[in-house]
Amino acid sequence: MMTPIEYYQAQIKAAVISEDEHQAKALAILNEVHVNLIQENHRRKGFLAKFREPKLVSGVYLWGGVGIGKTFLMDCFYTTIPFKEKMRMHFYQFMQFVHQQLKIHQGEQDPLQVIAKELSQKTMLLCFDELFVSDITDAMLLGRLFKALFMQGVSLVATSNTKPDDLYKNGLQRKQFLPAIALIKQHTTVFHMPTTIDYRLRHLKDAGVFYTPDDEVSLEKMEKTFTLLANGDVITHEPLEVAGRTIAVCKRTDKIVWFDFNVICAVPRSQQDYLAIAKQFNTVFISHIPVIPSDDKDKICLFISLIDVLYDAKVRLVFSAAEPVEQIYSRGYMISEYTRTHSRLLEMQSDDYFTNGLM
């Protein structure tokens, strides 16, 4: 059984990550919580457990800017928790779950207490990525919900871009949310990770966002970049529904989508499809872009149209191709139009273009 620190050191040894002093300090706190949770889990399963009240293990609230490794540290912590009574999800998913449960328990005297008790019977640890509150309904619920969960002995470990005191800042009826903030500060160690290195940006600068030749190495790089940019968001393979049409995806999150070239540019598509994609996603991955023959009017027209739409909408692009950009379409009657596309593809690989919005 590994500790979070041992897992972290193994990733350094495998050259997956580089050691970072701020991450190491956060990890030391997570490691202590890890030890305490395991001890409490043993107590709850011991011979005298039914005679004891569950003890609440103080958790961690880890906050700081984007790209500094908060989600990775959560990975180190959660992966090495050896017991099954744990749950990890994005905070918005958890609130969706709570609202569903409220409907199920509608009419009961105190449904939040019921939900907390049912959760405590399944888990003693809740891990939230990206704790963020913007909805007034959620804000009104959280004080009572956190109180009920903590009373049932459910520990909280969370990441956030925001310090507790700034959660739901300037929100409607914010005074009613202040008890939730007080509970977070009371029952977690609040640790701020300074923004010194954005590891996502460093990876992108080192690896680039255009991969050629279109081989297994390129695919591995795209996979790593997708995971990095997803930043712990839920990944699905469900197809898109665009204007009543279904478009297959390799994978997607709420903000990032990955298409195979033959799906997005080799079958009839309208500019409306591309505009809808650009509106929904801030980053598009396209794999397996071939050399487009000079007489393949449909493919080159669709490809040019897609790049124009993504460029105009400032959507980031990550792609793999059989050949360098200038050789994707090197001759044919659309060559003058492709000259503009070529220029845009080069600009879309620049640091200024791609990192816009990542800072």
In a domain, 359, yes or no: no
Q: Say which residue the tokens 């050399």 belong to.
A: 291
For residue 14, the enclosing domain spans: 4-193
Q: Residue 305's pLDDT is what?
A: 93
- Rounded-to-integer distance, Cα 29 and Cα 323, Å: 48
Last residue of a domain, one of 139, 160, 193: 193
Q: Residue 67's pLDDT is what?
A: 65
The pTM of this model reads 0.61
The total number of residues shown for the chain amounts to: 359
- Contacts of 49 by beta carbon, 8 Å cutoff, 6+ apart: 43
> Contact at 8 Å (CB) between 251 and 283?
no
Last residue of a domain, one of 162, 193, 224: 193
User: In which residue ranges of the chain is pLDDT below 50?
Assistant: 358-359
- Rounded-to-integer distance, Cα 133 and Cα 141, Å: 11
271: tokens are 């500019």
Q: Residue 104's pLDDT is what?
A: 93
In a domain, 118, yes or no: yes
In a domain, 135, yes or no: yes
Q: Peptide bond preceding 111: is omega within 30 degrees of 0, i.e. cis?
A: no
3-state secondary structure of 268: coil
- In single-letter form, the type of residue at position 341 comes to T
Q: Residue 220's pLDDT is what?
A: 86
CATH at residue 306? 3.40.50
- Rounded-to-integer distance, Cα 201 and Cα 359, Å: 9
Q: Residue 12's pLDDT is what?
A: 85
Q: Residue 88's pLDDT is what?
A: 92
- Rounded-to-integer distance, Cα 327 and Cα 318, Å: 17
Same domain, 42 and 189: yes
Q: Residue 346's pLDDT is what?
A: 87
CATH at residue 50? 3.40.50.300
Q: Residue 204's pLDDT is what?
A: 58
Same domain, 332 and 230: yes
Same domain, 277 and 332: yes
Q: Residue 359's pLDDT is what?
A: 41
Same domain, 270 and 346: yes
Last residue of a domain, one of 149, 165, 193: 193
> Contact at 8 Å (CB) between 105 and 114?
yes
- Rounded-to-integer distance, Cα 56 and Cα 51, Å: 16
Number of domains in the chain: 2
Same domain, 26 and 170: yes
Backbone CA torsion sign across 306, 308, 313, 317: positive
